[in-house]
Amino acid sequence: MKAIRVHQYGGLEALKVEDLPVPDLGEGEARVKIEASGVNFIDIYHRIGRYQGSLPFTLGQEAAGTVDAVGPNVMDVKPGDRVAYAGVQGAYAEFAIAPAWRLIPVPTGVDTKQAAAVMIQGMTAHYLTLSTYPLKEGETALVHAAGGGTGQLLVQLAKRRGARVIGTVSTDEKARRAREAGADEVILYTQTDFEAEVKRLTDNAGVDVVYDSVGKDTFDKSLNCLRRRGCMVLYGASSGAVPPLDPQILNAKGSIFLTRPFLAHYTADRAELLWRVNDLFKWIAAGELKIRIDRTFPLADAAEAHRYLEGRQSKGKILLIP
């Protein structure tokens, strides 16, 4: 089978297309014939070594396809089932092994590409808005990168919760995407100081929560956008890591809260995993949640997919097709 492997951490040159044996099954595992794999910033972090593990490895954290075979003591899925999963390394391949408990059946009304596209980004939007900072009706959220894949889903789920959403974007096209997702106000941070604009839009009161996946370039001003005892949710670092912070700053800015959540801690067992994904699948099938697939690339062009994502060009989900 074809797979995208990393032998040494680095740039795009670190991505190698290789032929590997179809992987064997262990107890409690299932083998998935992959039809679509998601491309995410966490894949870039793994490639460059920001998150380190054992080398070499097959890249990729999410996919959807059909169960090809199951190992001993597997009860949750069977061969022929359409499934999707996230949080298991090795998705940039034609076949992958995953713990069976992490595989979620894909229902009628959700196609395979949609399923692959919503796992990481959709579950992220779900846990951010329902668990990390459970938005309440009438609250105001600032969503950075609101025109990207996760941002568009965050906007939609924040609106489902009854919140007012202010989004920031880098281009006019992304502004249009954010508005289509339901953002009440959209700020082009390349043209306008988003901190000043947020204060104007909130009559200097500030927002209840900031959802920030950008990191270094937005972090300091984001803190200034919060109301007293507001919550800063830093869930990514597409512009680079945030420098060390003196906790006294949180006091000085109004006893604000800071959290750095991680998807795995919000999908630690099958019950929680099923809750989040089945909500997403239900909303997709009912037409209540829109999944925008921006571009698809052949599996062998994984480097080009990374180049596109790193260039901050994405306006939705990026998929690899084996």
Read off the pLDDT of residues 197-209 as tens digits, 9 standing for 90 and up.
999 999 999 999 9
DSSP run (H or E) holding 309:
helix 302-310
Token output for 112: 């395979």
What architecture does CATH give domain 137-260? Answer: 3-Layer(aba) Sandwich (3.40)
Tokens of 183: 């953002």
pLDDT band per the 50, 70, 90 thresholds, residue 313? confident
* Residue with tokens 């083998």, as numbered in its chain: 31
Give the count of beta carbons closer than 10 Å to the beta carbon of residue 67. 22
* Every domain of the chain and the residues it spans: 2-119+267-321, 137-260
Strand partners, 97: 31
Answer whether 206's CB lies under 8 Å from 199's CB: yes
**What pLDDT is stored for residue 198 in this prediction?**
98
* 232 touches 258 (CB < 8 A): yes
Overall average pLDDT of the 98-116 stretch = 97
Which pTM value belongs to this model? 0.93
How is domain 2-119+267-321 classified at the CATH fold level? Quinone Oxidoreductase; Chain A, domain 1 (3.90.180)
- What whole-number distance in Å separates Cα of residue 154 and Cα of residue 25? 36
Q: pLDDT value at position 40? A: 92
137-260 shares the fold of 2-119+267-321 = no
